[in-house]
Amino acid sequence: MSALGYSFIDLGLLQTALTHPSANTRKNNQRLEFLGDAVLQLVISELLYNSSKEAEGKLTFKRQRLVNEQTLAQVARGIQLGEHLVLGRHFAQDGGQELDSVLADALEAVLAAIYFDGGLEAAAAVVHQLFHQLITEASASLDAKGALQAHFQGLGEEEPVYIDLASEGPPHRRVFTVAVKQNGRLLATGTDTTKRSAQQRAAKAAMDNIRKGGGQP
């Protein structure tokens, strides 16, 4: 694992971090994954805190974009982590090493292994190396869903949730309608040709209502 830029003293830690539960139900990377998530959250949070004067809501949103499953899997693929995983035979035959969830979990486990092997400073150095470009490119602007989430986080309130209301039309011309609610209140609805874009429309409508109402939907 030269791509990590770190040399393990205890190779057994690395081996455990690379072992999926399908290969060994007793000694696998699940516990390391639990700790690695916390290590990654801490290091990314500190990096964002030190690199920006943005408010909590925006920092939280940027952190979520950096540590979500898809981003972790992207980073894992960048260092060919999947090629080093130890998987059960059938799971490997089914392409388990390509799953975002498997790659993300393994990356977190590896970070925990580095933490145990070399301490927080060593783990932080690896996170800096692997995530530096992503942090540099992280957009400070928020899309509609992110802006709505940041609004309520800034107020210390529950995050908004999105509820599917309708799906109409033939499969190739489907139209989705989505509602966005917060603490049981209907904020707005949105309709578009994909669920994601319908959610964005609902979030934008909710933010428009908030701005018109002086902060309340």
Residue 112 phi, psi (nearest 5): -65, -40
Residue pair 108/72 in contact by the 8 Å Cβ criterion: yes
Q: Look up 94 and say whether it is catalytic.
A: no
DSSP states of 96-124: GGG-HHHHHHHHHHHHHHHHHHH-HHHHH
Question: What are the b/e assignments for 161-182, b being 16+ CB within 10 Å?
Answer: ebeeeeeeeeeeeeebbbbbbb
Annotation says 137 is catalytic:
no
Burial of 19 (0-12, 13-18, 19+ CB in 10 A): buried
User: One of 33, 37, 105, 117 is an active-site residue; which one?
Assistant: 37
- Of residues 33, 105, 108, 117, which has the active-site annotation? 108
| Count of CA atoms in the C-beta half-sphere (13 A) of 121 | 1
Length reported for the chain: 217
**Active-site residue list:** 37, 108
